[in-house]
């Protein structure tokens, strides 16, 4: 794993986004605490609160991989203060079901403790995502 004792919270989240970009699902999962609280906003297609990496994989990461071609999470601005990290960026991808592409803004809020992500909360513009899914 890329985490080390000297990594601060911002570096942990930067590593997470690198692993997403590389398509390293096991690497992403390994960065999560066993009891991570992962919140996808209610208006998003995978909305809900999921506890633990297995629940995140089953309800978010797995569906993203199967429902979208080239799904990307591209952070722009990352701000950190102590264990809390905020990232503002863009999602993009192409629906496998409809062939429609989208680009949507997101904000992610993380808490990192001892080099491990203990919580995540998403705020996103879900309209472009739903539009891409419409038949």
Taking Cα atoms as reference points, which of 4, 5, 2, 124 lies closest to residue 74?
Answer: 124
Taking Cα atoms as reference points, which of 56, 17, 15, 19 lies closest to residue 34?
Answer: 56
CB 89 within 8 A of CB 14: no
Q: What is the pLDDT of residues 88-128, one digit of tens each?
A: 999 999 999 999 999 999 999 999 999 999 999 999 999 99
Q: What is the pLDDT of residues 24-72, one digit of tens each?
A: 999 999 999 999 999 999 999 999 999 999 999 999 999 999 999 999 9
Q: How confident is the model at residue 1 (pLDDT cuts 50, 70, 90)?
A: very low
CA distance 62 to 18: 18
State pTM to two decimals: 0.91
Q: Which CATH class is domain 9-133?
A: alpha beta
């Amino acid at each position: 794993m890329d985490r080390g004792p000297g990594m601060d919270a911002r570096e942990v989240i930067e590593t997470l986004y690198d692993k997403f970009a590389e398509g390293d699902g096991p690497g992403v999962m390994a960065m999560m605490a066993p009891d991570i609280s992962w919140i996808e906003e209610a208006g998003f297609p995978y909305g809900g609160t999921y506890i633990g990496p297995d629940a995140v994989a089953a309800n978010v990461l797995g569906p993203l991989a199967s429902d979208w071609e080239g799904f990307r999470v591209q952070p722009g601005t990352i701000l950190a203060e102590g264990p809390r990290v905020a990232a503002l960026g863009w999602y993009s991808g192409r629906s496998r079901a409809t062939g429609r592409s989208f680009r949507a803004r997101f904000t992610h809020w993380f808490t990192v403790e001892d080099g491990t992500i203990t919580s995540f909360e998403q705020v996103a513009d879900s309209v472009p995502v739903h539009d891409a899914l419409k038949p």
